[in-house]
Amino acid sequence: MNKARVEKAARALLAMQRHSWEQGTAMQAFLAIGDMETVTAMAFESVNRSVEDGRAAVIGVTEAVTDHLSVGEGLIKACELTGNKFLREGRERLLHWALNGAPRSAEGIIYHLNSTKEFWADSFYMCPPYFAAEGLYDEALKQWNGYWDALFDDDAKLLCHMWDDSAGNFSRIDHWGTGNGWALASIPRMLEHLPNEKYGKERTKLIERGVTILNSLITYMSPEGYFHDVVDNPETFVEVNLSQMTAYFIYKGICGGWLDDSYQPYADRMRQAANAKMNEFGFIFDVCGAPSFDKSGYSPEAQAFYILMETAGCGAEENSLRN
């Protein structure tokens, strides 16, 4: 891992304006590098921007549901580290809202927005790992599997982006790269919390489903390690954040012993592609760009996944040397 480049990317991430899901993803990156000072400060600000119903890190977008849960794991860690009353009360309000206030389907699956009855692939990363971090393992698995059942395209072996539960059809059927990346990246976080003794079969199922997506994605990867924004549509722009998210999944799997190391050359190529896209200020360019995510640009989530990828890649390198 190039420590100077990671620090550069982290500074750029902190400089960027962030919505709730971007705040939560940034917190995951700082957790990965062990910077609890920054995680705790971000947790404090997330609680500071809570609204009455308990949702944390509310800024700009007020109709989001699952996005606010992305700050949960960092908030839990900050509470455990500090014992701070303000943080603890914010954590309790967020959990109460997630369990009792968040709009759900008849089957109990949480919608992505409070204005529509839609499931988005983004929610894989925002919601189930948070419940797993709170020790609510059955709830975490129910949510993850509910999103899978709604969004997985069995023909393409990829996830579609948005399902409209009220209309009974896809509101966006595209196999959006970042959406598939969100799902992949959620799996190592789920596995980190799910006890193997009691949830061995469920862990295996998560891994198998991740490998299904991974095997399909690899067939669309360019020789340089890039993807298109819509994975199977070469008319869409080329972007590198899916490369980072997929490399992160592979490296975490190899280090965790649940993914075959034959995938490492693919991750190395994706990592090389991402490293070629850092500018002089530490920003990763040619990613699905904020704030509209409809063209190439820059985004806080891409900054975060650069850090997550590099940290996981470093672990994979150490694992390879030991073997």
The pair of structure tokens assigned to 213 is 């997506």
Per residue in 215-243, pLDDT (tens digit) is: 999 999 999 999 999 999 999 999 999 99
pLDDT at 316: 62
CB atoms within 10 A of CB 192: 13
The pair of structure tokens assigned to 313 is 């890649």
pLDDT by residue for the chain (323 residues), tens only, comes to 788 999 999 999 999 999 999 999 999 999 999 999 999 999 999 999 999 999 999 998 789 999 999 999 999 999 999 999 999 999 999 999 999 999 999 999 999 999 999 999 999 999 999 999 999 999 999 999 999 999 999 999 999 999 999 999 999 999 999 999 999 999 999 999 999 999 999 999 999 999 999 999 999 999 999 999 999 999 999 999 999 999 999 999 999 999 999 999 999 999 999 999 999 999 999 999 999 999 999 999 999 999 999 999 876 666 655 55
Residue type (1 letter), 13: L
User: Residue for token digits 């989001």?
Assistant: 64
CA 70 – CA 301 distance, rounded (Å): 12
CA 10 – CA 34 distance, rounded (Å): 12
pLDDT at 31: 97
Per residue in 185-202, pLDDT (tens digit) is: 999 999 999 999 999 999
Reported pTM: 0.95
The pair of structure tokens assigned to 139 is 């709830």
CA 88 – CA 264 distance, rounded (Å): 40
- The helix/strand/coil state of 84 is coil
The pair of structure tokens assigned to 197 is 């003794």
Query: At a CB cut-off of 8 Å and minimum separation 6, what does 141 contact?
Result: 128, 194, 199, 202
pLDDT at 39: 98
CA 149 – CA 4 distance, rounded (Å): 42
Q: Is the dihedral of CA 288, 290, 292, 297 positive or negative?
A: negative
The pair of structure tokens assigned to 38 is 């920054």
CA 134 – CA 73 distance, rounded (Å): 8
Residue type (1 letter), 154: D
